[in-house]
Amino acid sequence: MARTMEILLLAVTFLSLMAASVAEIKNLKITSDARHMILFEKFGFTHTGQVSIAVSGPSVEATSAATGAPAKSRIGFFLLSDESLLQVVQESAQNPNFCVLDSQFTIHLFTFLDLTSNRIAFNRTTPVGIPNEYSLYFANCNPESLVTMSVRTEIYNLDNGVKDYLSAGQTQLPALFFLFSLAYFVFLGFWSYYCSKNKRSVHRIHLLMTALVLMKALNLLFAAEDKHYVKITGTPHGWDVLFYIFQFIRVTLLFTVIVLVGTGWSFLKPFLQEKEKKVLMIVIPLQVLANVASVVIGETGPFIKDWVTWQQVFLLVDIICCCAILFPIVWSIRSLRETSKTDGKAARNLAKLTLFRQFYVVVIGYLYFTRIVVFALRTIAAYKYQWVSNAAEEIASLAFYLVMFYMFRPVEKNEYFVLDEEEEEVALATLRDEEFDL
């Protein structure tokens, strides 16, 4: 029963939490590991897919509680598709002595029995004849035993004889990210030109917004290079370092800009209140933690023991940050509602309130789409179309940037400073309506 739950928990956690699967060439060291199953990688295979696994320095030792010597035939590697997962769990529940290596629903690769005593290294390449998305597992069906080995995994599809190390649903990502990076560079050019034409209305927040677009463009450019080199060589050749650096800067800037725009900083007031500073002091350190978790998740893989913990940390921090950036917008709306009752500038306050409420709705829509809708697309889409979720996320992000930058663009008479005396009475009546709220 314990082994059944371990199989189910491991597989379900991986399927529900793992984002885009990337099959770089992995080299890892396993030392005195007692886990019954270890998940290495998830990959979408075409009809030309292959799995190459090299094992060196393998050893299996029994613990003091073991009743016999470990059987090498019950230790090995296999592939398992999502469709076969429930059948394997059912088999395990029905047979207390079940070993997943004996299941008819797995694709058997090899066991430690193939590693004869006079060989300290073993290398085998297995073609995958049936196109599908499979997870690569290591299984140790010997209770109370510890496994030590060095493993090198190489998973790829052959495209006209050339190895493609990206999953079947992600081989389009380099081109996709590059196209979106070009779109942001064009956007940056238009934004810079617009700001230069309206220099008198440019505030400090606009400089941060410019930096944000630049970081987003560079982040996508380095993401494209990262995926390109993984696609053709199996390793990112250092581009992943630049990708993580600019991802950290871009995400931190994005949350900071949303908070500052939501508080009206640089537009309505040149300073931040104490509670708004606290939000920034919470969001920025959390983004550091989230990016550390992202690096661990992306650079190691599910085979490390704390992988699930880092996944949970990343999700928790992301949720906290998404909630935190909404508070300043709500505070600004409430503050404007209170001041509108006494300062005698109804038309201008109505325009401000309308703008902030629209911004609130835009932020909510952006967070909902990128956190929930994109995850749903990634979950339900066929493995060959996993790139669709990435495309949807980038389209939503670009739309959000365009809307936010349009709403708070530098103009001589924007909504913050509109004051139409003819509409003052109508605006005052609207503001007195208690239903004008979130």
Residue 228 and residue 85 share a domain:
no
In terms of average pLDDT, the best of 14-18, 29-33, 336-340 is 29-33
Q: Is residue 437 part of a domain?
A: no
Residue 126 and residue 184 share a domain:
no
Helix (H, G, I), strand (E, B) or coil at 300: coil
| Separation of alpha carbons 163 and 125, rounded Å | 13
- 363 contacts 325 by C-beta, under 8 angstroms: yes
Mean confidence (pLDDT) of the chain: 81
- 22 contacts 170 by C-beta, under 8 angstroms: yes
Tens digit of pLDDT for each residue in 303-351?
A: 666 767 777 777 888 888 888 888 888 887 777 677 665 555 555 666 6
> Above 90 in pLDDT, residue 134?
yes
**269 pLDDT band (50/70/90 cuts)?**
low
Q: Is residue 375 part of a domain?
A: yes
Residue 192 and residue 116 share a domain:
no
Looking at residue 417, its pLDDT comes to 43
Domain end marker among 143, 164, 185 = 164
Q: Is residue 130 part of a domain?
A: yes
**232 pLDDT band (50/70/90 cuts)?**
very high
Residue 137 and residue 214 share a domain:
no
**389 pLDDT band (50/70/90 cuts)?**
very high
> 359 vs 266, which has greater pLDDT?
359
Looking at residue 66, its pLDDT comes to 61
> Above 50 in pLDDT, residue 16?
no
Domain end marker among 164, 185, 205 = 164
pTM, entire model? 0.83
| Separation of alpha carbons 141 and 3, rounded Å | 9
Looking at residue 163, its pLDDT comes to 94
Q: Is residue 416 part of a domain?
A: yes
Residue 254 and residue 148 share a domain:
no
Residue 403 and residue 298 share a domain:
yes
Residue 211 and residue 153 share a domain:
no
Least-confidence region, from 1-5, 148-152, 330-334, 346-350 = 1-5
Name the domain count of the chain.
Answer: 2
Specify the pairing of strand 37-45 against strand 132-140. Answer: antiparallel
Q: What is the CA radius of gyration of the chain?
A: 27
Looking at residue 281, its pLDDT comes to 79
Express as a percent the part of the chain with pLDDT over 70.
Answer: 79
Looking at residue 14, its pLDDT comes to 46
| Separation of alpha carbons 213 and 254, rounded Å | 9
Average pLDDT of the segment spanning 7-22: 46
Determine the structural domain holding residue 380 and report its residue range: 173-432
Tens digit of pLDDT for each residue in 272-292?
A: 677 777 787 788 788 778 777
Alpha helices in 269-416 (DSSP H): 274-299, 307-324, 326-339, 346-368, 374-380, 387-407
Looking at residue 123, its pLDDT comes to 86
Residue 239 and residue 335 share a domain:
yes
Residue 110 and residue 63 share a domain:
yes
> 69 vs 387, which has greater pLDDT?
387
Residue 39 and residue 115 share a domain:
yes
Residue 252 and residue 317 share a domain:
yes
Residue 210 and residue 88 share a domain:
no
Q: Is residue 152 part of a domain?
A: yes
Q: At what angle do helices 204-233 and 173-197 cross, to 10 degrees?
A: 160
